[in-house]
Amino acid sequence: MYTVTQGIMGKLQVKVLQTLEQAAKETWTEEYREDELEEIWCQRVIRAPNIKTAVDELQDVLEQACLPSLTQTRTTGKALRHKPTPWWTSSLTTQRKEVNAKRRRHQRTKVNSEIWGDRKEQYLAAKAEYTAAIRREKVNYGKNFVI
């Protein structure tokens, strides 16, 4: 399970600051202290010909900082087909497999209508439980992420 923690946010913050410093060094000729970085960027925004240029410049810096953490690749170097869902758990995977197995068992029962009805009820109950579990995990993830 992937959750956003203080450690991840701290690493991202450090990466953003490093990228801001690197971009500032490209245009700032004098030596500066770390506490002057904010002043340097304020001056760059003030000197920009228009607000769109200043916003675009800051957006480029943020994208450069965030891009490495947002792209995930397999060990082979190929990009993942789907982004991982941060709220997904292994118990949901197990439940999904069980629900699919019950669905297939229900669909393949043709001879006895009594068994077919029982299996349909089992499948629908398992599907409802699985859907509720997904909803619970999404809500719990949202609560943990916001807090």
* Residue 21 in domain: yes
Ranking 23-27, 63-67, 72-76, 104-108 by mean pLDDT, the lowest is: 72-76
- Domain of 127 in residue numbering reads as 90-146
Confidence tier at 143 by pLDDT (50, 70, 90): confident
Cα distances (angstroms) measured from residue 97 to each of 4, 91, 102, 123, 127: 27, 10, 9, 12, 11
How high is the pLDDT of residue 124? 96
pTM of the model: 0.46
* Residue 106 in domain: yes
Q: Are residues 17 and 46 in the same domain?
A: yes
What average pLDDT does the chain have?
78
Confidence tier at 119 by pLDDT (50, 70, 90): very high
Domain total for the chain?
Answer: 2
Query: Tokens 């069980």 belong to which residue?
Result: 98
* Residue 78 in domain: no
Query: Exposure of 94 by Cβ count < 10 A (0-12 exposed, 13-18 middle, 19+ buried)?
Result: exposed
Q: Cβ(102)–Cβ(122) under 8 Å? A: yes
